[in-house]
Amino acid sequence: MVRYRGPRLKIIKKFGDLPGLTRKVVVKKQNTQEKENSEQKKPKGSAYKIRLNEKQKLRYNYGVTESQLLRYVKEARRKKGLTGFLLMQLLEMRLDNIIFRLGLAPTIPAARQFVNHGHVLINKKKVNIPSFQCRPNDVISFPTKIKTNALIKANLSQGENLNNNLSNSHLEFDQNSLTGKVKDLVKRKDLIFKINDMLVIEYYSRLA
């Protein structure tokens, strides 16, 4: 299955807010009575559908393909610890997500494009692979190009209010030198995308 490139508003109307996919928010105009009536009419989904929806939320938010997500699930299973959280950790430590979390791009798709265009250096070496797994003590810097610096400063300015509310204790960024650092692996408390990750693991377990 390929990466989704369709209307993002359509996706968040179906699955709710996906901070990595878009900053757009669906404005609900229903009054309380209409909302109660619609909830009463809405049929409950099957257990399979609930797991499928959680899996789709994860895929759309992080912008990964079905085959990529399956590989991450298999890798998480090989590690010691809670498989659901380990899956989230693998997704969170992707380079495109780190760029997004640092406020250097408004969304993960924008961060992916930023990385693809060769704007990122990891430990002074150019990395243009969005799925690159960042590790503790990795230093993130950028080529000394006027266009690159202007783009970074513009994104930082636009995302200032948003990223002030994010918990990024595993990351740090110096706006003066435009240099970031991965201090540690992401912790559960620092996840901004709330999801029942074990339902995703259960979804793939039933397909095995």
**In this structure, are residues 108 and 63 in contact, taking their beta carbons and an 8 Å threshold?**
yes
CA–CA distance, 136 with 101 (Å, rounded to integer):
15
Q: Do domains 8-90+194-207 and 94-184 have the same CATH topology?
A: no
Long-range contacts of 86-91 (CB under 8 A, 24+ apart): 87/197, 87/200, 87/201, 88/186, 88/191, 88/193, 88/195, 88/197, 89/185, 89/186, 90/133, 91/58, 91/62, 91/64
Domain boundaries, given as residue ranges, for the chain: 8-90+194-207, 94-184
Number of C-alpha atoms within 13 angstroms, CB side, residue 96? 22
pLDDT at 165: 44
| Residues 6-41 pLDDT 10s | 778 788 888 888 888 887 666 655 555 555 555 455
pLDDT at 34: 54
Give the gyration radius of the chain's Cα atoms: 18
| Residues 115-125 pLDDT 10s | 999 999 999 99
pLDDT at 94: 98
Res 55 pLDDT > 80: yes
pLDDT at 164: 45
| Residues 125-135 pLDDT 10s | 999 999 999 99
To the question of domain 94-184 being in CATH 3.30.750.24, the answer is no
The whole-model pTM stands at: 0.85
Q: Which residue has the higher pLDDT, 118 or 162?
A: 118
**Residues 169-176, mean pLDDT to the nearest whole number:** 91
Q: Which CATH number is associated with domain 8-90+194-207?
A: 1.10.1050.10
pLDDT at 44: 64
Res 92 pLDDT > 80: yes
